[in-house]
Every structure is written in C-alpha cells, then in structure tokens.
Amino acid sequence: MYLNNATSRICLGTIHYSNTPYHFTIYLNLTSLVKIKSNNFSKRTKVVIMKKILNLTKSFCLVTIILLFACSQRIYKVAYPTLNDGKYDSEFPYKSCSSELKKITETVRKVFCKVRYKNHIFAYDRKVTRQSLTKRVLQQAEDVVYFHRTVAGTGTVIFNKNLKVAILTCAHIFVKPDTLFTYFESGGFGGKRFIQSIAIKEVQENLVADFPEGGNCEILLIEKVGDIAILSKEFTKPPKFNIPVFNYPFGKARELEWGSFVYLLGFPKGYKIITKGIVSNPDRDRKGSFLIDALFNTGMSGGILLAIRDGVPNFEVVGITTSAAAEYATVLVPERQIHNYDESIPYSGDIFVANKKNINYGITRAISSEAILNLLKKNKNLLRKKGFDFEELWAVHE
C-alpha cells in the first residue's frame, strides 16, 4: 500500500475474491465518492470489493487517528511536563483561553462610592475646638459649602438567586468617615487646635455600573482590617438582561509558589482590563496573602486574581487585589475649576493644598482566597437569614 499525494491516489494492492486476484487503485476525493479503476470487475464483484475497500479505508483512518493522537500526547508531555502535577502553573498558558476569559470578564463590574459632605467653615478668631462644638456653633459657621468625593473600584458577581445579587470587592472603596476635620496651623493657647472646617457626611451611595434599578447597593458584609466587602442588591422584579455569575471555584492561595502565573481583571481608570502577573512572597503573612508584579492603577482595587491548576481552562480564584505600593507628596494646586490655563501667564489666584499619590508600579498586594472564604463562613448564619447562601464556594474549596 502506498499514497500518492500528487494524484490523491491510494494503491491498496491486491484483493483475492473467489481465488481470483484483482488489482485495483482507489481514487479519493473529499467532495466525491470512492472511484474504482479496473477493467476485469463484474457488477457483483464490484459490490463485494467495494465493501472490502470501505472496511480497509475505515481501518486505515482509525490507525491514522490513533498515531496522530499518540504523537500529540507525546509532544504535550514533553513540552508541558509539569501540567499534571496538581500545582498552580508557573508557565504561560499553552493554548488559547480567550473565550473562557471573555465569559469571566462579563461577571466583573465597575463599582463606585459617592459621598456628599456638608462643610462648615470657621474663622480663626472664633477659636472653635472639638470640645466647644455644638449644633448651634455649626449653625453660626462663616460659610457652608458642599463637596463630593468619589472612589471607583472593581467588583465581581459571586451570587445571583431569587432576585438577589452579591458582589465581592474591597472594603476601603466604601469605608468613608462620617466627619472630616481640618485645623488651623497655629495651635492656639495651651496647645489647643482650632477648627478651620468640619465636613459632615450627608449621603453615601454604593453603586455598581450598569445595574438595573439605579445600581445603588447595600453593604452586606464588610471587614475593614482584611479590606474585604460584599455588596448586595435586591431587585423588585427580574432584570431585563442577564447578570452573569462567576462560576469557577475558589482556590487555595497558600499553595501558590514563587513564580506562579496569575491573571488579573479590573477597571483601572474606568477601562475594563485583563492583565497578567507573577507571584512573589507567597503566604507572606501566613494567611495566604501574596504580592504580584502586575501593573496596578486607580480602579483596580477588588479585581479578582485567577491562577491556573494543571493547564487552562482550570481557573481558580486565589484572591483579589487591594493596593499598590505608593509614595505621597503634598503639593500646591490652583483653583480646582480652572480649565485650559495659559502657563505663560503668572498665576495670581487662590492656592490649595493637595495630596498627590505616586504609585510604585509593579508591586501589587493581594488578599487571599482563604481570607475571603473565612469571612463568609464566619458570617454564614447572618448571610443565610438575608437570603444569601455561599455554601457552594467553600464546599469546592474544601
């Protein structure tokens, strides 16, 4: 038997039928039937030989498939010998996983915290202190102004049942003080500090972008020290569009190693982004937290971290990002409402003090999956009373 690629001709040799040898050639065409070329076949003989040829062709195709599969398995094991070791992968994914990652990104949402403050401003000669502060003193403030503070981050939908939705994110996005004090530089008599202004929080909105019915959510669970928060939203009627839920298992951050590969999903500067990073200093606090070298920017807080165990698409959540290393500096800035100012003209307006944050890119801190699940387990009775059962999350983890 031999194969002639030029003519798409397979020569199978000789078939013996009724003690008579028949020599034949099979012409294969992907768009037509098998053709037999022979001058000494009767009609009945052709039928019998055709059956034998089909059986031989099936056997030939089966052997070819087995050989190809065996070769690919051998190549797979040589090229990726560590993908079946039960550990988190440290190599770049060996095949495309774009479709899986695209579905995961649909569960990741941009979250906001918008706070409105009422700010009471006092003159220095009033000598207002915290001890002398009363409701009447507030009413006698020299001026009252309103201002807003907005912080953006990332959340992931981890629950969606019975018109109730829960979103995993970071606590620091939504922890805002009820009162803000500023003081005059001079300490006054006896070291007393006189109040320059006092801002009182009036309204706080916890929002999820593109959520129906306004998107305003409640804080279902929050842990300030661990920097973990769960937002919740209960709809009055079924949403007009589907809200996908993250359905991959929670992994074990303590099993990460130096060099483990992770994906990071979030909304830096308001843009949905997926990036990658390498794990350093795993289990650095003996609670599973770790560092990654992925680029971090404002809005990435709360973004999920996906590790891969034994090849894609075996994704597992190993944590969420919380912050990046940064340095702070106090700078002088002009009035906040100035636009398109001509830098060649000396500025003579009011000057304000601002705190500028300079992010040290490449050093990103992560909260471990163990810390997240421990918080949910610790409050499982409270969560169940409110209609949120996360049993499936830690059942897989255990």
Regarding beta strands 228-234 and 164-169, do their DSSP bridges make them parallel or antiparallel, or are they unpaired?
Answer: antiparallel
Q: What is the pLDDT of residues 338-349, one digit of tens each?
A: 666 666 677 777
**CA 7 – CA 28 distance, rounded (Å):** 9
Taking the C-alpha atoms of residue 150 and residue 147, their distance in angstroms, rounded to an integer, is: 10
What mean pLDDT do residues 179-205 have?
82
Backbone angles phi, psi at 133, to 5 degrees: -75, 125
Would you call 247 helix, strand, or coil by DSSP?
coil
Instruction: Report residue 148 as tokens.
Output: 């807003």
What is the pairing mode between strands 164-169 and 179-183? unpaired
Which one, of 126, 117, 118, lies nearest residue 184 by Cα?
A: 126
pLDDT digits (tens, 9 = 90+) for 320-360: 998 655 556 677 777 666 666 666 677 777 777 776 666 55
Phi and psi torsions of 78, nearest 5° = -75, -45
In tens, the pLDDT along 130-170 reads 888 888 988 889 999 999 999 999 999 999 998 999 999 99
Q: Which domains does the chain have, with CATH numbers?
A: 2-79 (no CATH), 98-397 (2.40.10.120)
pLDDT value, residue 362: 64
Amino acid 371: pLDDT: 93
Contact predicate 344/279, CB 8 Å: no
Q: What is the pLDDT of residues 290-303, one digit of tens each?
A: 999 887 778 889 99
- How many angstroms separate the Cα of 27 from the Cα of each of 20, 52, 302, 352? 22, 15, 63, 86
Tell me the two tokens of residue 207. Answer: 């929002």
Q: Both tokens of residue 241?
A: 């569009």
Which comes out higher in pLDDT, residue 397 or 202? 202
Chain-centroid distance of CA 54 in Å reads 52
* pLDDT digit string, tens, across residues 225-259: 999 999 999 998 888 888 999 999 999 999 999 99
The single-letter code of the amino acid at 356 is K
Question: In the structure encoding, which two tokens stand for residue 244, read together?
Answer: 């996908």
Alpha-carbon span 115 to 183, nearest angstrom: 22
